[in-house]
Structure 1
């Protein structure tokens, strides 16, 4: 870490000059001792001169590094240079015993021995911040003393030399430990300083951002509220402050209902006037200093920070929703414009501004989807649902390619004879991570990632495989129904896709029944041509969920629909509901007058089945007869539900094949 290296350099440089001065003094004292003992010779003077030169070079190196700023800009190189200087001094000191004739470390030369040992120990103690420098200086000195002691081969000298070798080992370990402690303290100090600096920078950034936004006109030109740029800066700043002072930040997102229709019918000037009135109403209600912003289009936001932010945000939302019930007047016009509100709070729901905005948007979407003109507070389930949706969309293509998504089949039977009259193909997917994925989730995901054609084609293939096998069970006249989502007609050519699939499997179009909801029939621009072609190609057509829409009778007649499927909502508990009985009776009469078969869905009890048969319903499907099952389970079910003669024939055929 550069900061630690700089701290090590600073620690060394802080006492470097005093260390060099102490070296000069000690060198001079050693030479003086030798002079007093009449032992100073030319070798000692050469040693002294070399030592002084080394000290001078070390002083020069320090000054040069300091002058050029290398101590801070290149700490690693500086440490290497200073360590080499320490090594040179250590080597010079280590040479002292070899310049003294008949050196006696525990005898007459004990003062020199003590001074050398003291200098080595002092270096280790003083330079705890950087072990290589301390050891470069002390190890040569201690090794020199150890060699001289052991080389005398006297018991006392050998013992002291061995102790000195142990001391070298201890010095090395303690130096390394001391450096680690120094580095750890510097790292902790650096982290604390960095944290303090980051808070300071964050505060400075907030102030600087506010100044820039003010200079760049931080107001929305239409409403006079804060604009989107200022909103993002304020939200991030409030969250940064809240993180320090341990407070909440609440975010409200408002969406105006029916705004596009006002724009389309009355013009953009009317829409602009309406937005200004909404902004004025927000400003008159939210008066506690909270930021009110227009995010764009018909979307507004309120950022509530400070004490009790979440409670205040709920209060603001309730007041705005109540006020939205009153008509808004502008340019001698008026309209009741509802608002939907999403609420999220930091740190309860998110860790940063981006996540908080996403959470508030999810809550707003939930408010608009479920029931408009209400407040929805973010719930973790919304994030889980969003993540579930993401995973489904991500894995859908692979599931289609590998066959993980496939068709299960629910039989349709004659209510009187219990004869099998058809099967409905239902999409099923058991996701390895999410478990069962519902058909609406699959269909919506396919539409989102543009895989609707591939999905429907895969179910059509499974339907064709079943249709090819039905004659083996004496069910050659039985059809397999396939659901087609109404919106698919606008995405691709359904007849072309079905033609490819049926041709590839050798299945006649008449073996398949295409079920379409009334929504498709009501939009001729989307479905008319394709439905006509499906009819011409020979596919049977059925209207699914009949009674839930507003089908045109003329269109039903012109399209030559074969079946009407009465929605399960009319069938549930029909035995106890006279109203549902009357409705079903009317729909049955309509179907009979148009020569259409009637299929009832969701039959679950014998009582309901009996009532439906009495009302004239001929065909039914539901849990009373069979639940949806994979194609592999149909063989047994079909065999068990065939008439006796056909059972024997089917079993004999299978035995002969076996």
Structure 2
């Protein structure tokens, strides 16, 4: 490996720049070299002609001129196409090919005419060959290959011809020529390495200068932005979050009289829809208009800010802060409902607001803001477009959810969550066909925690997969015992949150669980809510992986959402579970009977099994059987029970249907 090769950087862009510099350097001297080459060829031909005229000399001279003309044309083409910059490898290839052609042409003179002069040698010819080889080296300091391709053939031919002559003087000159060739080779490589080193240093210097310039520009720009945005929102002209935080803390650091400080937090109700349908330009226009309307409701002592996105806040100071806060909150809720004209089109947004008072609802900035935010959340939950005032009940609800979240991870690890199972039966025979796994949690401080609260906490903690794994393991343990209870084909359904279908984690988890317990995936039914099937790229891919792994797929609460029937077919759904709302009052409701019949018909048409949930009495069970429903579950058959109670219930159930 040559010095030049070792110096070449691995970065492709830098290599390209160095090759381009080499090509440009060779191009700069090639035209002058061609002119000198033609002149030397003419004088060399004349010397050879005077020594011994012959047609070979003229043919050689014509060949040199033709090759040099071709090299000149190649140089012009390379320059015109800007190959040295855009395709430097190709440019160097063309130049190297031309150098080789010239070198081969100059390898012929030692064999044309005679080498013998007065002393048995033609010193002029040896001098010319050595000179043009040295000249090629000086002209190609940037790229050794062109020099070596040009000088190599003439030197080799000269050395060979001297060896053929065989005289002592010829052998000495041949040795000198060989030494010259070695020195030229080394000098050419060192010269190219030096050129590459200088180009690398130049590129580093340019990059450093550009980086420093960019960094300096970014620093200046950042400083200007920070200076202009330190306390103001660039879009609305209101204060920003930094001003809000500083102002609220400054006020609370002082002794604020009771009733002299209130905090109002406002959030727009339909802002995202406007951004999505009309574009961000329309959204900005809405924010500016809402900011103007909000500012018109406040006084000179109030601090009005945009916290970010579509969220605003007002710090109300002075006497009667609560009354003024209510007035501003009610006012912005009212004004935000008035249409905003954008591009000649009226747009209605709406707003919700939450109000908290100091010191009743918080003595620190964080506590006061959290209280106002809770009041805002309650206003949205209550139907939006209203003002909510913080109260301790709201706080208790939030604190309850936070306590659930802080203890859920340990509850899963300690197996404090209880998994119970509700049987599914065949309506015609009463035969047990499966079970549904359901979560129960008797919290040591909160008492019974509902499954939706558990799922919501798991999602907030990003442990939904761990929760599903916990339930699936319990289901797998039951599946291992069912064959001993005479139910080898009974399946166990596991509910899965739609949020778990964004990757392949769920399918890998469930596959590992079934393998660890040595049970068939076909006996574990994965129940998904209808909305999960709407995301064809995320949920669809994961459901397809589950189906391919052999798991049974069921859609829970079918008929309550917006599933695509074509998509259900493509996923090979095994079961549809009809919600309790369709069963209630079915004995007397023709409408519910028609709906159930239609849903059952869909199931039959798609070869999908139907299970009706929430069957609570014999009359409902009989009507469903008559309508063609095969499977059902509900309190009429059994309440959810621990796995240990299933054998006793099975015995009782067998006696009842016997």
TM-score, normalization by structure 2 = 0.62
For 1:66-215, what aligned pairs fall within 5 Å after superposition?
none
Map of 1:612 onto structure 2: 624
Q: Does 1:545 align with 2:557?
A: yes
Provide the rounded CA distance (Å) in 2 between the counterparts of 1:558 and 1:228. 49
Provide the rounded CA distance (Å) in 2 between the counterparts of 1:425 and 1:492. 22
Kindly state the Cα deviation for residue 245 of structure 1 after the two structures are TM-superposed: 3.2
Q: Does 1:274 align with 2:250?
A: no
Q: Does 1:377 align with 2:408?
A: no
Q: Given the alignment, which residue of 224, 235, 247 partners 1:222?
A: 235
Structure 1 residue matching 2:316: 3-state secondary structure: strand
Q: Given the alignment, which residue of 318, 324, 329 partners 1:317?
A: 329
Encode CA deviations 1:586-633: one digit per residue, 9 max, x unaligned.
Answer: 111211222222111112233322332232222111122211111122
Encode CA deviations 1:327-360: one digit per residue, 9 max, x unaligned.
Answer: 1124544311121211211122112222111111
Map of 2:429 onto structure 1: 417
Structure 1 pair 492–438 and aligned structure 2 pair: CA distance change class (3 A): farther
Q: Does 1:449 align with 2:448?
A: no
Structure 1 pair 637–290 and aligned structure 2 pair: CA distance change class (3 A): same
Structure 1 pair 491–448 and aligned structure 2 pair: CA distance change class (3 A): farther
Structure 1 residue matching 2:581: 3-state secondary structure: helix
Kindly state the Cα deviation for residue 264 of structure 1 after the two structures are TM-superposed: 4.7
Kindly state the Cα deviation for residue 495 of structure 1 after the two structures are TM-superposed: 1.8
Kindly state the Cα deviation for residue 579 of structure 1 after the two structures are TM-superposed: 2.5
Structure 2 residue matching 1:396: 3-state secondary structure: helix
Provide the rounded CA distance (Å) in 2 between the counterparts of 1:217 and 1:456. 46
Map of 2:376 onto structure 1: 364
Structure 1 pair 244–483 and aligned structure 2 pair: CA distance change class (3 A): closer
Provide the rounded CA distance (Å) in 2 between the counterparts of 1:503 and 1:217. 59
Structure 1 pair 331–380 and aligned structure 2 pair: CA distance change class (3 A): same
Map of 2:472 onto structure 1: 460
Map of 1:235 onto structure 2: 248
Map of 1:159 onto structure 2: none
For 1:460-609, what aligned pairs fall within 5 Å after superposition?
460-490=472-502, 492-609=504-621
Encode CA deviations 1:139-158: one digit per residue, 9 max, x unaligned.
Answer: xxxxxxxxxxxxxxxxxxxx
Map of 1:46 onto structure 2: none
Provide the rounded CA distance (Å) in 2 between the counterparts of 1:491 and 1:394. 26
Map of 1:284 onto structure 2: 296
Encode CA deviations 1:301-329: one digit per residue, 9 max, x unaligned.
Answer: 12223333223322222222122221112
Structure 1 residue matching 2:493: 3-state secondary structure: strand
Provide the rounded CA distance (Å) in 2 between the counterparts of 1:516 and 1:379. 37
Which consecutive unaligned segments of at least 5 residues does structure 2 have? 1-225
Encode CA deviations 1:479-527: one digit per residue, 9 max, x unaligned.
Answer: 1111111110115422211111011111111211111121111111112
Stretch moving more, 373-382 or 417-426? 373-382
Kindly state the Cα deviation for residue 423 of structure 1 after the two structures are TM-superposed: 0.4
For 1:282-431, what aligned pairs fall within 5 Å after superposition?
282-287=294-299, 289-330=301-342, 332-431=344-443
Structure 2 residue matching 1:476: 3-state secondary structure: coil
Stretch moving more, 516-525 or 575-584? 575-584
Provide the rounded CA distance (Å) in 2 between the counterparts of 1:575 and 1:278. 53
The answer to whether the Cα contact below 8 Å between 1:277 and 1:330 also exists between their aligned partners in 2 is no
Provide the rounded CA distance (Å) in 2 between the counterparts of 1:621 and 1:365. 37
CA RMSD of aligned residues (A): 2.6
The answer to whether the Cα contact below 8 Å between 1:464 and 1:502 also exists between their aligned partners in 2 is yes
Structure 1 pair 214–533 and aligned structure 2 pair: CA distance change class (3 A): closer
Structure 1 pair 480–338 and aligned structure 2 pair: CA distance change class (3 A): same
Structure 2 residue matching 1:262: 3-state secondary structure: helix
The answer to whether the Cα contact below 8 Å between 1:239 and 1:249 also exists between their aligned partners in 2 is no
Provide the rounded CA distance (Å) in 2 between the counterparts of 1:605 and 1:305. 62
Provide the rounded CA distance (Å) in 1 between the counterparts of 2:647 and 2:447. 26
Encode CA deviations 1:253-273: one digit per residue, 9 max, x unaligned.
Answer: 111233344345544443332
Stretch moving more, 519-528 or 312-321? 312-321
Provide the rounded CA distance (Å) in 2 between the counterparts of 1:636 and 1:397. 33
Provide the rounded CA distance (Å) in 2 between the counterparts of 1:368 and 1:645. 51
Structure 1 residue matching 2:501: 3-state secondary structure: helix
The answer to whether the Cα contact below 8 Å between 2:503 and 2:542 also exists between their aligned partners in 1 is no
Stretch moving more, 380-389 or 499-508? 380-389
Provide the rounded CA distance (Å) in 2 between the counterparts of 1:398 and 1:217. 43
Structure 1 pair 245–494 and aligned structure 2 pair: CA distance change class (3 A): closer
Provide the rounded CA distance (Å) in 1 between the counterparts of 2:582 and 2:656. 34
The answer to whether the Cα contact below 8 Å between 2:259 and 2:322 also exists between their aligned partners in 1 is no
Map of 2:91 onto structure 1: none
Structure 2 residue matching 1:329: 3-state secondary structure: strand
The answer to whether the Cα contact below 8 Å between 2:427 and 2:625 also exists between their aligned partners in 1 is yes
Kindly state the Cα deviation for residue 364 of structure 1 after the two structures are TM-superposed: 1.7
The answer to whether the Cα contact below 8 Å between 2:504 and 2:542 also exists between their aligned partners in 1 is no
The answer to whether the Cα contact below 8 Å between 2:430 and 2:657 also exists between their aligned partners in 1 is no
The answer to whether the Cα contact below 8 Å between 1:239 and 1:346 also exists between their aligned partners in 2 is no
The answer to whether the Cα contact below 8 Å between 2:503 and 2:538 also exists between their aligned partners in 1 is no
